[in-house]
Amino acid sequence: MEKEAQAKMLGLEKGELILWSGKPEPFEILDKYYKPVFIRNYLIAIVIVVSIFIAALIRNANGAGANLTAVGVICLVPLVALPISLSPFRKFGRDCQYFLTNKNIIIYLSSSQMLKCSLSQIDKLDSVEQFEGTKSIRIGKAVGMPIRKNRSYALGCINESSSEGENQSCLLYNLSEKDANTVLQLIDKYRVAA
């Protein structure tokens, strides 16, 4: 019964079988690459906010009149938006599921966020070690990108293809070494036959 529900959820074709399924290994949202970028962006936002607020104070002191409450609210927007921008990665780490069938690689977040990558149309792929000791499998245009961009691309390629339904580029982010080896073996075995 569970297999039938999964097949319906994933929109599997007739004769398409799930050979492997898994999830990304847990990862820190602010790891060694994302934390410095986040801190840099936050500091830039603080400098801009303080500059705008000081300019409003100077304008107000010169008698031109500035609504400091409105300026304060506007200045808080970037300081709140930056931490909120991390929530898609939390959702990805918690909800993402990977499936490998005899015809497709499927990355599933929800019924509206799913990516299918046909095994028969894979032209290039590689496997890279992440900084947490896990591996990511990159397919299509994801091959060769800097490792620090893997997580962003993994989420981005799902969002890009949600409207298209299919894409020939994807990234299986943060797999255990065992899962990565299994997936690579299955891809090699089935991509010619698919």
The pLDDT value recorded for residue 187 is 92
Whether residue 165 has pLDDT greater than 50: no
- Among residues 158, 124, 161, the alpha carbon closest in space to that of 139 is found at 124
CB-based contact 83:30 (threshold 8 Å): no
Q: Hey, what are 115's tokens?
A: 């990516």
Distances in whole angstroms, Cα of residue 148 to Cα of each of 9, 13, 32, 65, 158: 32, 35, 9, 46, 18
Question: 5 with 171: CB under 8 angstroms?
Answer: no
pLDDT of residue 64: 65
Residue 147, pLDDT score:
83
Tell me the per-residue pLDDT of 46-83, one tens digit each, with 9 for 90 and over: 888 888 878 777 777 776 666 667 777 777 777 777 77
Task: Note the CATH number of domain 96-190.
Answer: 2.30.29
pLDDT at 65: 64
Domain ranges of the chain: 34-85, 96-190
Q: Buried b / exposed e across 56-86, counting CB within 10 Å, b at 16+?
A: beeeeeeeeebeeeebeeebeebeeeeeeee
- Residue 21 pLDDT exceeds 90: yes
Q: Can you list the alpha helix ranges (DSSP code H) found in the chain?
A: 2-10, 34-61, 68-84, 87-95, 150-161, 177-190
Global pTM value: 0.75
What would the pLDDT profile of 119-152 be if each residue is shown by its tens digit? 988 889 999 998 778 899 999 888 988 888 888 8
b/e 152-182 (16+ beta carbons within 10 angstroms → b)? ebbbebbeebeeeeebebbbbbbbeeebbeb
pLDDT digits (tens, 9 = 90+) for 74-123: 777 777 777 777 777 777 788 899 999 999 999 998 777 888 999 988 88
Q: What per-residue confidence (pLDDT) applies to 68?
A: 67
CA torsion angle 128 164 84 78 (round to 10): 110
